[in-house]
Structure 1
């Protein structure tokens, strides 16, 4: 069916599939094996349509678990049939190599580096060009709400993003940010749509990082990374706190922040959960805000422009859990905070990110 090289590539792909280990008896084992064979037949049918360079691209993405952001893998649109089931090709690939429980296209969100959003004929089947949509727990679990602290008088809402811990902007001072303009200088006077501040416990590390591009990666240490590199901000030799050192290592591929028409999304590229706190993920005047646990591979809309606009018309929200700004989002890497944990406040988390949005889009 395949030439020797293609056959080798297909075998490597099949070896990387995510297996289900839920069979408890021989009947269910037989059923699972049958479904496995039917899915294998459908996948082989799809892979026959791929040219060799695309097949190699898919192998690269699957074997590196998305560490290398490879290009799109194009397959004609139209459901594939295996046994009594049908599935869209990109859903089947995500089910085979990322999430065995995925069933429908609406459970997935295309990531910003995928280039086929407007293609009417083809769909991208690179499973690392997709993320799983976050679904809020209902009702929220008991660990999701943090205790209130006394209000601070410096909880500000300004037209510029301001770190409420320092009160300063330092927006264009980062040695690690991409240039605020292009070669023609047309973007140099534009305000960044958000500014990032990296924190360890109660201390901000490095300067504020202005973001002008529509997408930004925040990662620990990658040789070809493009974005905010945490290891470039930090000095490991001066840190004696084991919790900080261990959490830094867990950041790995980090997160991707993507500015879209309706709001800002974060995609969790870690192998560990993120914990997110945002004013627009709650009803207005909610006291206190909810902390959302976002699993690896999931995306969540952390800031909604329309909601934020409506909230500005209501009474100003004033909460305090360490530094707080109602145009800001806090993201903790791998460590949660709240009643379930020893860490009651985000300023007790060893490694976290503050994302401060400009008021205007």
Structure 2
């Protein structure tokens, strides 16, 4: 008889889960422990989606000494300081603070005096135990092949996304809440602070992409992304409360076919280092295109071999190039072009459809790791063309069907770099669908 590998795979998965600082790396669950942080940190769960992060968060993400002063045009959410002596004082925050959204709930806020455990320690311990028991019960029901796929995806942090892990589309009970299987694994292996209200979008290569109310659903956590921005998504992405944990209906993949029957490219991508274009234009024929610097497994545009001719790159370019990592995924979908950030650092994007009609400055959006954003809206673009709308922020010639993406560094009126040509590593995406 052959001994089953399933118990060992479950243990490997559990050791790979997202843990807090207090949990350590022992693979064990500790009860009644809080994560400690200083007042200079931003409390997890208070920032909501990616667009609400503070300036301090950006400096931490970029990890550059020449940080962007005033880079964020949003109010900060940090706690007030009472003199220099309070800077090193620690407060405790609840790992599961997002479970209760009532403003006056004791389960949301840390103690005002900044000392000792928060009032939610017993509740947090119970929720951790519920999460552990629910996760173990769910994982033990999976077949060996499914566990293998999950281990590959989780241990490579999405570098090898693996195949879909299809399970019955039934809700799981976690404490007093009902959650979907993919929400459970996304919270366990990707975002420990994932709120119940989070909107998860299946990636275009996933079987759950465009499948709504299906009997089975994929639970591979690296087949999902979070949506940027606190605003409500336009149809068909507006969700009722009962649909919060259903995969967003993004339709089916589409391709471009010429009159002669030959498939044409839907976009061309140019890679730039500051003012210099490096390499040739790369045409994209498939509905999705991976752009990366270092990827364990995959196809697409690899920037590792793109180097300037006749000169070496600056130190800033080399530093940012090393941060590209797994890079991004561009996907052409029914409603527009989406970008998914699969790297470990933020990317900054801009397109004409991201600018409000009355905006006087570029509306550069930041996409955090693991998040997706619709960077080009087909309906908005058609409306702008029909009404001859040109953003006020654009001076001189401009391309209404282009998207610009900068790795790790932002630009525009809210940043120290006014123009994208000052960014070390960036992409120019020339869309072909309306030309």
> How far apart, in 2, do the equivalents of 1:136 and 1:291 lie?
16
- Aligned residue in 2 for 1:264: 337
CA 1:272–1:106: 2 relative to 1, 3 Å:
closer
Counterpart among 67, 73, 79 of residue 159 in structure 2: 67
SS class of match (1:206): strand
- Give, in angstroms, the shift of residue 338 of structure 1: 2.7
- Aligned residue in 2 for 1:16: 16
SS class of match (1:250): coil
Which of the pair has the greater relative contact order for Cα pairs under 8 Å at 6+ separation?
1
> How far apart, in 2, do the equivalents of 1:127 and 1:15 lie?
16
Q: Report whether the alignment pairs 1:210 with 2:304.
A: no
- Aligned residue in 1 for 2:399: 325
- Give, in angstroms, the shift of residue 343 of structure 1: 1.4
- Aligned residue in 2 for 1:7: 7
> How far apart, in 2, do the equivalents of 1:192 and 1:63 lie?
34
Q: Report whether the alignment pairs 1:88 with 2:176.
A: no
Q: Report whether the alignment pairs 1:101 with 2:193.
A: yes
- Aligned residue in 1 for 2:314: 241
- Give, in angstroms, the shift of residue 359 of structure 1: 4.5
Point out 4+ residue stretches in structure 1 off by more than 6 angstroms: none
- Give, in angstroms, the shift of residue 26 of structure 1: 6.9
Contact persistence 2:153–2:161 (CA under 8 A): yes
Contact persistence 1:267–1:300 (CA under 8 A): yes
> How far apart, in 1, do the equivalents of 2:230 and 2:316 lie?
28
- Aligned residue in 2 for 1:57: 149
SS class of match (1:232): coil
CA 1:202–1:26: 2 relative to 1, 3 Å:
closer
- Aligned residue in 2 for 1:341: 415
> How far apart, in 1, do the equivalents of 2:197 and 2:205 lie?
18
TM-score, scaled to structure 1: 0.79
- Give, in angstroms, the shift of residue 101 of structure 1: 2.9
Task: Point out the structure with the larger helix share.
Answer: 1
Q: Which moved more, 1:54-63 or 1:338-347?
A: 338-347
Unmatched runs of 5 consecutive residues or more in structure 2? 21-34, 36-92, 95-115, 233-255
- Give, in angstroms, the shift of residue 217 of structure 1: 0.5
Unmatched runs of 5 consecutive residues or more in structure 1? 139-179
- Give, in angstroms, the shift of residue 19 of structure 1: 2.8
CA 1:273–1:114: 2 relative to 1, 3 Å:
same
SS class of match (1:231): coil
> How far apart, in 1, do the equivalents of 2:196 and 2:310 lie?
48
CA 1:200–1:136: 2 relative to 1, 3 Å:
farther
- Give, in angstroms, the shift of residue 358 of structure 1: 1.8
Q: Report whether the alignment pairs 1:313 with 2:386.
A: yes
> How far apart, in 2, do the equivalents of 1:134 and 1:322 lie?
30
- Give, in angstroms, the shift of residue 68 of structure 1: 0.6
CA 1:229–1:83: 2 relative to 1, 3 Å:
same
- Aligned residue in 2 for 1:48: 140
Contact persistence 1:266–1:301 (CA under 8 A): yes
Q: Which moved more, 1:308-317 or 1:27-36?
A: 27-36
- Aligned residue in 1 for 2:377: 304
SS class of match (2:305): helix
- Give, in angstroms, the shift of residue 74 of structure 1: 1.6
Contact persistence 2:361–2:413 (CA under 8 A): no
- Aligned residue in 1 for 2:127: 35
- Give, in angstroms, the shift of residue 83 of structure 1: 1.9
> How far apart, in 1, do the equivalents of 2:317 and 2:155 lie?
29
CA 1:58–1:193: 2 relative to 1, 3 Å:
same
CA 1:4–1:236: 2 relative to 1, 3 Å:
farther
Counterpart among 349, 352, 355 of residue 276 in structure 1: 349
SS class of match (2:138): helix
- Aligned residue in 2 for 1:122: 216
RMSD: 2.7
Contact persistence 1:91–1:105 (CA under 8 A): no
Q: Which moved more, 1:331-340 or 1:52-61?
A: 331-340
